[in-house]
Amino acid sequence: MGRVTDHLEEGACVLIFGVMTAVAFVNVITRYVIRYSLAFTEELVVSLFVWLTLLGTAVAFRQGGHLAFTWLVERSPRALRRLSLWLSTALSAGLFAALAWYGVVQIQNERMMGTTSEALAIPQWWYTAGIPVFGLLVVVRVLQAAWRARRAPDR
């Protein structure tokens, strides 16, 4: 079970990217073969791209592949390296926790106003729901990465 949860984001990314590719491909075919564009495809692709971005962020934090200013940190005393680890962890977790919080607020507003998507006329919050869910997943991966990094011999 651990291996599945460790790579959950990659599976979701593959699934979402596959859907995005298929939908965009169908739109291209219909546009050039029958000269009719399917407007809903753009709505789906753009909304799923937000989800894909957040899932990719979770993968990057889990693998330690996020952007980092290591030149200065590597040359710092051990205490400063530890401080920078926990400061960057707190800032990153805080950013994505705030994103999740405001995603929930946005969902509440969209539900209260009855906002629907333009092309498919489905509730807009269906698309927005990925922001708090995947934002919290990023927070979990940030904390996991920090926990692993604190054990590194050079920390």
Q: Is residue 1 pLDDT above 60, yes or no?
A: no
pLDDT digits (tens, 9 = 90+) for 52-98: 999 999 999 988 887 777 788 888 898 898 998 899 999 999 999 99
pLDDT digits (tens, 9 = 90+) for 99-134: 999 999 999 999 999 999 999 999 999 999 999 999
Beta bridge partners of 123: 116
Domain annotation covers residue 35: yes
Q: Where in the sequence is the domain holding 57, given as residue range(s)?
A: 2-150
pLDDT tier at 3, thresholds 50, 70, 90: confident
Domain annotation covers residue 31: yes
> What are the backbone angles phi and psi of residue 123, rounded to the nearest 5°?
-55, 130
Q: Is residue 5 pLDDT above 80, yes or no?
A: no
CA distance 147 to 140: 11
Domain annotation covers residue 155: no
Residue type, 102: Y
The count of structural domains within the chain is 1
Domain annotation covers residue 105: yes
Domain annotation covers residue 88: yes
CA distance 104 to 151: 34
Q: Is residue 6 pLDDT above 90, yes or no?
A: no
**Verdict on whether the full-model pTM lies above 0.85:** yes
pLDDT tier at 29, thresholds 50, 70, 90: very high
Residue type, 34: I
Domain annotation covers residue 66: yes
Domain annotation covers residue 124: yes
